[in-house]
Copies of this chain bind each other. A is one copy, B any other.
């Protein structure tokens, strides 16, 4: 249940204010160069505290490789990664320890398990996504070997949508904006919400380029099903679209079908996936994040004794989780593609012959 993926799999652990968070990445093919600095670099992209558009909380998030890498190369053994927590201010949570913050998982964890780690949301905290990003870094390293690129950025914030997308611009934008001409309006949407003690939702665009065709294992590990599940499982995601997405439901077949000529597809409404298998075209995904549930405006809720209570949150919170969510979505998409790359390897007798012929 805390494991993701079939062949390239990740098992994560850790709570927001526990001793450490981390993961075990299993199934990494032997022979891949892996070093901590590369993983750290990915982690730093989601690190809070660097701009006014993210929480001011300081987390150094230093990753350690505990196993599975020998002389800088993966050995085929499981790779354990750990990030030890620092300066957890558990006291911040004393005033909310017995009440359920609206739109958080406090209520559901308590009802399911009969016990909850109230400190910063415990296991349900978005802090856990650091483990996903660390694991995703290893997946990206593998994909690079095959020329596959996974890019992401902010498509919209509070309804302010990009008109055009530029994945080269996103990495240098403070909010990972994909459209420079909309960046200011998007930033303003964040800051206006923040000033009001409120938060705002946003939409992330992930593009996977140069994926080989054949990825996706029909019928129940289809590529779109796997991506859909992986992305919908990120904290705060409420909708996932592939290719034309929601719009496909409004079109006619003659508009939505991607015709072909001798060179290949003439359009990409499908978003790179047909029948759950990659077509070789770009895989285009839109991921919609709800606004951060943590807001400073007074709210009404229930406590563990079923009483109605009013309260105001304290502390430091992201005004728009979609921004850092862009890094997490990128990692999850990378993990799915890496898994599919491995799963597809044995799908034909022809492939097996390539591997076993030499012995």
Q: Which residues of B contact A344 (CB under 8 A)?
A: 112
Residue A41 at the chain B interface, CB threshold 8 Å: no
Q: How many residues of A contact B (CB 8 A)?
A: 163
A230 within 8 A of B: yes
- Does A89 belong to the interface (CB within 8 Å)? no
- Among A318-359, those with CB < 8 Å from B are 322, 341-356, 359
Q: Of B66, B114, B302, which one neighbours A14 at CB under 8 angstroms?
A: B66
Would you list 12 pairs from A and B whose C-beta atoms are within 8 A, ordered by A residue? A1-B26, A15-B70, A20-B67, A20-B80, A31-B113, A109-B218, A112-B214, A156-B250, A238-B242, A252-B291, A253-B295, A259-B300
- Is A48 among interface residues, defined by CB-CB distance under 8 A? no
Asked whether, in the complex, the Cβ of A2 is within 8 Å of the Cβ of B19, the reply is: no
**Which residues of the partner chain B approach A228 to less than 8 Å between Cβ atoms?**
228-229, 231-233, 240
Q: How far is the CA of A347 from the CA of B2 in the complex (A)?
A: 13
A245 within 8 A of B: yes
A202 nearest in chain B by CB position: B249
User: Known contacts A111-B213, A158-B250, A193-B253; can you find 17 more A-B pairs with CB under 8 A?
Assistant: A14-B80, A29-B346, A102-B259, A109-B218, A146-B356, A200-B253, A212-B359, A225-B229, A228-B232, A232-B240, A238-B242, A239-B239, A240-B240, A248-B291, A255-B291, A256-B290, A260-B301
Question: Are B294 and A253 interface neighbours, CB within 8 A?
Answer: yes
Partner of A112, one of B76, B79, B102, B124: B76
Chain B neighbourhood of A224, CB < 8 A: 232-233, 237
The 6 A-B residue pairs with the shortest CB-CB distance, nearest first, are: A105-B275, A229-B229, A228-B232, A225-B233, A108-B277, A199-B253
Q: When the two chains form their complex, are residues A225 and B220 in contact, meaning their CB atoms are under 8 A apart?
A: no
Q: Which of B111, B123, B235 contacts A75 (CB 8 A)?
A: B123
Whether A116 sits at the interface, judged by CB under 8 Å, is yes
Name the CB-closest residue of B to A142. B349
A59 to chain B, nearest CB (A): 16
Contact of A159 with B108 in the complex, beta carbons under 8 Å: no
Instruction: Determine the distance from Cα of A299 to Cα of B219 in the docked complex, in whole angstroms.
Output: 27
Q: From B128, B218, B225, B258, give the contact of A103 (CB < 8 A).
A: B258
CA distance A237 to B275 in the complex (A): 10
A35 in contact (CB, < 8 A)? no
Whether A288 pairs with B245 at a CB distance below 8 angstroms is: yes
Closest to A287 in B: B249
Using an 8 Å CB-CB cutoff, how does the interface string of A12-53 with B read, 1 for contact, 0 for none? 111100111110101101111000000000000000000000
A113-B347 contact, Cβ under 8 Å, with A77-B123, A201-B248: yes
Q: Tell me the residues in window 249-284 of chain A with beta carbons closer than 8 Å to chain B beta carbons.
A: 249-262, 264, 266, 269-271, 273-280
| Contact in complex: A250, B159 (CB < 8 Å) | yes
Cβ contacts under 8 Å, A193 to chain B = 252-253
A136 at interface by CB-CB < 8 Å: no
Neighbouring B residues of A254 by C-beta, 8 Å:
198, 295, 297
Interface digits, A206-234 against B, CB 8 Å rule (1 contact, 0 not)? 00000011101111111011111111110
CA distance A252 to B145 in the complex (A): 41
Choose, from A3-11, A165-173, A176-184, the stretch at the interface. Answer: A3-11
Which one of B262, B280, B345 contacts A351 once the chains associate, using CB atoms below 8 Å? B345
In A86-116, the 8 Å CB interface with B consists of 100, 102-105, 107-109, 111-116
